[in-house]
Amino acid sequence: MDELGALSLLPTLVVFALAIFTQRPIESLIAGSIVGLLMIHGRGFVGGFAEASLRVMTNSEVAWIILVCGFMGSLIGLLIRTGATAAFTTQVSAWVRSKKSALMATWCLGLVMFVDDYLNSLAVGSAMRNLTDKYKISREKLAYVVDSTAAPVSVIVPFSTWGVFFAGLLVSNGIAAEGEGLTTYIGAIPYMLYAWIAVLLVPVVISGAIPSLGPMRHAEHRAQTTGETVPPGAAHIEQANQAIQIRTGVRPRISMFVVPMIILILSTLYFDKDFLIGIYITLGGTAIYVVATRLLGLHDTFDTVIDGFKTMIEPLGVLVAAFILKDVNDMLGLAPYIVTTMQPFLTAELLPAIVFVSMALVSFMTGSNWGVFVIVLPIVTALSNNLGADITLVIGATLSASTFGSHACFYSDATVLTAQATGCTPFQHAITQIPYALIAALITVMGYLVIAYI
């Protein structure tokens, strides 16, 4: 479909237009996918949609995400039902005395949960909702702090699922020798400018040095003046989050929150950074402990596991729809088109900045971060070799672009999961976060230009 050129942008533009008009991500994503399938298959678009759906649902990456997110919801459900989350929040609240300190506590907790951005978003968001409500902090502001720490910190700490995935890609693309992928990745960490800036921008925003901007200002005004921390239109998400309550008569224990989180992190690190194995070990061990100590009955425990999985159905639906759109965009050749369009402007000095801008645009439009990296890494590597550019710097720029897409797109996995955990819609989270993401992106571009010309 390379001959489509600029027309390959149409499905994604339809998604954004409908999302702004309806503020409904699933319908917008499906509509954009159908537009793309009409371009590819014509009247046979229904069959094309069926084929794309099957490709997505049988994709190992998608299956991994569904299992990880679903069972993470189950684990969080158990922690809520046993009072563990409430005990953790109570303990943290003893150290919190203001709105700023509540947000700083959220940021610090996010730094600790570096092993995976999904763990970060879901665990921190669910743990801090009630505490930030106490200080009339909008769920949109909470979502910004959580999301701006989740993926970025997982990128710049190499002992994470991001580090393992990208280190493997560096080896498979011949950039690093066998067994040296993680070493090459670590060498590129100082140049992952967007991740660094996004993380460090959070305390600056919390301090008020950068004020609440645009839609975030309205969200904070609503929360401070009316006490309505949950935004209008997100009641169904809050209802799902509140569907599981503490069992009557249970004595909350902070150890029931801390110990499973430690086990989850350690088991994930031990089993080659495989978060799915970590989830299975942690969820299974927690369920056995809960039943054995009679915190919950057998039926109550497994009902909670199922109910926790159910809370993730809507965000998982958005993610599956986003992967279908990505599949359509891959067939349309969206990523190669954007790279080819930017190629005439390339020099060795400008390559990192242009790679960041173009790949950030692709990642933002497709809602894909890992997937885009797989597609563009061979192209970026070839461009670096042809121009004699610093490959380590270019890797950092490419990872920065992936982080921006994960952070800014309203239907990326990080955005969707953070919105669910914090109790707002993906669009509400994305539209309030985008000014800060753009500030970080602008500083990143300037940083790459400075590095190139000094």
Report DSSP state, residue 124: I
The per-residue DSSP string of 142-159 comes to HHHHHHHHHHHHHHHSSS
Which is more confidently placed, 5 or 375? 5
pLDDT at 369: 67
Give the pLDDT score at 373.
Answer: 67
Give the chain's end-to-end CA distance (angstroms, integer). 41
Region 41-57 average pLDDT: 92
> What percent of the chain is modeled with pLDDT above 90?
34
pLDDT at 345 over 80: no
Q: Is the pLDDT of residue 36 over 80?
A: yes
Neighbours of 179 (CB within 10 A): 9
Closest CA to 140 of 220, 208, 228: 220
Residue 1 has pLDDT above 60, yes or no: no
3-state secondary structure labels for all residues of 415-430: HHHHHHHHCCCHHHHH
Q: What pLDDT, on the 0 to 100 scale, is given for residue 372?
A: 64
Angle between helices 313-332 and 25-41 (to 10 degrees): 30
pLDDT at 139: 95
79 closest CA partner among 46, 42, 34, 124: 124
What average pLDDT does the segment 345-362 reach?
Answer: 83
Percent of the chain with pLDDT over 70: 98
Sign of CA dihedral 95, 101, 105, 108: negative
Whether the pLDDT of residue 75 is over 70: the answer is: yes
Whole-angstrom distance, CA of residue 120 vs CA of residue 99: 21
How much is the CA Rg of the chain, to the nearest whole Å?
A: 22
pLDDT of residue 160: 76
260: helix, strand or coil: helix
The lowest-confidence range among 246-260, 333-347, 432-446 is: 333-347
Average pLDDT over the chain, rounded to an integer: 87
Q: What is the pLDDT of residue 91?
A: 84
Please tell me whether residue 297 adopts helix, strand or coil conformation.
coil
Residue scoring higher pLDDT (135 or 387): 135
Q: Residue range 77-95: average pLDDT?
A: 86
Query: What confidence score (pLDDT) does residue 368 get?
Result: 67
106: confidence class by pLDDT, cuts 50, 70, 90: very high
So what's the pLDDT on residue 120?
83
Q: Which of 293-307, 360-374, 392-406 shows the lowest per-residue confidence on average (mean pLDDT)?
A: 360-374
Residue 406, pLDDT score? 80
| Nearest to 195, CA basis, from 100, 128, 114, 141 | 114
Cα→Cα distances 246→144, 223, 236, 249, Å = 27, 26, 20, 9
Rounded mean pLDDT, 141-148: 94
Q: How high is the pLDDT of residue 171?
A: 80
Q: Which two structure tokens, joined as six digits, stand for 396?
A: 């950092």
Q: What is the pLDDT of residue 177?
A: 79
C-alpha–C-alpha distance, residues 172 and 257, integer Å: 39
Q: Distance between alpha carbon 35 and the CA centroid of its chain, in Å?
A: 26
Residues 229 and 139: beta-carbon distance below 8 Å? yes
In this structure, of 204-213, 218-227, 327-336, 341-350, the range with the lowest mean pLDDT score is 341-350
Q: What pLDDT does 453 receive?
A: 77
**Residue with token string 């993906």:** 426
Q: What is the mean pLDDT of residues 102-114?
A: 90
- DSSP letters along 302-339, please? HHHHHHHHHTTHHHHHHHHHHHHHHHHHHHHTHHHHHH
**Nearest 10 degrees: CA dihedral of 126, 58, 333, 392?**
60
Burial of 21 from C-beta contacts in 10 A (0-12 / 13-18 / 19+): exposed
Query: What is the mean pLDDT of the segment spanning 169-185?
Result: 79
At 277-298, the pLDDT tens digits run 989 999 999 999 999 999 999 9
Residue 343 to residues 332, 338, 339, Cα–Cα distance (Å): 19, 9, 6
The pLDDT of residue 337 is 79
Lowest mean pLDDT among 13-17, 308-312, 361-365: 361-365
* Residue 69: burial class (beta carbons within 10 Å; 0-12, 13-18, 19+): buried
Q: Which residue in 117, 192, 189, 122 sits closest to 160, CA to CA?
A: 117
**Among 98-107, 194-203, 368-377, 413-422, which stretch is predicted with the lowest mean pLDDT?**
368-377
- pLDDT for res 429: 94
Question: What's the CA gap between 408 and 237, in Å, rounded?
Answer: 20
DSSP 8-state code for residue 246: P
Of the pLDDT bands very low, low, confident and very high (cuts 50, 70, 90), residue 59 is confident
Q: What is the pLDDT of residue 147?
A: 93
Per-residue confidence (pLDDT) for residue 64, from 0 to 100: 85
Does pLDDT of 165 surpass 90? no
Q: Report the candidate in 358, 374, 365, 359 with the shortest Cα–Cα distance to residue 409.
A: 365
